[in-house]
Amino acid sequence: MSGWFNKFKESRLVKGSVYSIVGALSYPRLNIINKLEVEGMEQLRDLPGEKVLFVSNHQTYFAEVIAFLHIFCASSWGQKKKIGFPFYLLWPFIRVKFVSAEETMKKNFMSKVFALAGSIMVKRVWVSEGKEIRKGLDPSDTRKIARALDHNWVITFPQGTTTPFAPGRKGTAFIIKHHRPIVIPVVIDGFSTAFDKKGIKLKTKNTRLTVKFKAPLAINYDDSTENILQQLMQAIEQSREFMPGEENVKM
């Protein structure tokens, strides 16, 4: 029964409907009330349909993921520089998954509905008697992500928090090292200015929302997870050298 239900959730009927509804509701906030600007969108057209991992910084729970879905769908309809008018919601590109905290996606009805858009729910932190006893991903979570990569594009946020310049977590580097996907760094900005922490309520209008897709990373998959993580954090501009007030000293 669970296998049948999982297939039903992944069907175009269910997933496509969620994309279309969420897309229609969010489009005005992303591209009319505010202005979404995309850089590097043209290179999405050359990517295979699987084994692609988008690694991004994080500012809200949902807004940037929704923006990515708009961009991917628009790209699948031939757009190269902007998302344009949302005709793409008539037949959205649904081979996308995104890594999200289980506790976030199960909080309320709206988050549970959005989870149908392709959430890979993971337990980033275990808490016992008010104390945090584990950080990172457990083996079952890494297997979920690995299976998703076999047939989809996957979006992940290695910091696991919306706090800027928070340290990255090794789980993402571990997945890259052992499953060797194409890694696309993404740098986003403006979302925490335009939206509340959840990424649902508007805080300001006429905000410039930027999404920059960089070229695929040249990764030595035999390198240590520590070095791969350091490369990721630098690529998404969340390493120390990008912190305000820090001088980028070249040795």
CB 124 within 8 A of CB 100: no
The answer to whether residue 245 sits within a structural domain is no
| Long-range Cβ contacts of 3-11 (<8 Å, 24+ apart) | 9/116
Q: Which residue has the higher pLDDT, 192 or 113?
A: 192
In the chain, the number of structural domains is 1
CB 40 within 8 A of CB 71: no
Q: What is the pTM of this model?
A: 0.91
- Strand 208-213 with 125-128, pairing: unpaired
The answer to whether residue 247 sits within a structural domain is no
The answer to whether residue 41 sits within a structural domain is yes
The answer to whether residue 28 sits within a structural domain is yes
> Is pLDDT at 247 greater than 70 in this prediction?
no
SS (H, E, C) the chain: CHHHHHHHHCCHHHHHHHHHHHHHHHHHHHHCCCEEEEECHHHHHHCCCCCEEEEECCCCCCHHHHHHHHHHHHHHCCCCCCCCCHHHHHCCCCCEEEEEEHHHHCCCHHHHHHHCCCEEEECCEEEECCEEEEECCCHHHHHHHHHHHCCCEEEECCCCCCCCCCCCCHHHHHHHHHHCCEEEEEEEECHHHHECCCCCCECCCCCEEEEEECCCCCCCCCCCHHHHHHHHHHHCCCCHHHCCCCCCCCC
- Strand 131-135 with 125-128, pairing: antiparallel
> Is pLDDT at 128 greater than 60 in this prediction?
no
The answer to whether residue 72 sits within a structural domain is yes
- Residues with Cβ < 8 Å from 63, sequence gap 6 or more? 26, 30, 191, 194, 195, 199, 200
Please choose, from the candidates 40, 49, 54, the residue with its C-alpha nearest in 3D space to the C-alpha of residue 217: 54
Q: How confident is the model at residue 246 (pLDDT cuts 50, 70, 90)?
A: low
For the chain, the residue count is: 251
The answer to whether residue 6 sits within a structural domain is yes
Q: For 52-93, what is each residue's pLDDT tens digit?
A: 999 999 999 999 999 999 999 999 999 999 999 999 999 999
The answer to whether residue 251 sits within a structural domain is no
pLDDT score at 129: 47
Cα distances (Å, whole numbers) of residue 173 to 55, 104, 160, 202, 212: 10, 23, 13, 33, 21
The domain spanning residue 48 has which CATH number? 3.40.1130
What are the residues facing 55 on neighbouring strands?
A: 156, 185
CA-to-CA distance for 172 and 217, rounded, in angstroms?
Answer: 14
Please choose, from the candidates 78, 72, 81, 52, the residue with its C-alpha nearest in 3D space to the C-alpha of residue 154: 52
* 221 token code pair: 């998959």
Domain that holds residue 41: 2-240
* Stretch 41-45: mean pLDDT: 93
- Strand 182-189 with 208-213, pairing: antiparallel
* Stretch 158-164: mean pLDDT: 92
User: Up-side HSE of residue 56: CA atoms within 13 Å toward CB?
Assistant: 28
> Is pLDDT at 110 greater than 90 in this prediction?
no
The answer to whether residue 250 sits within a structural domain is no
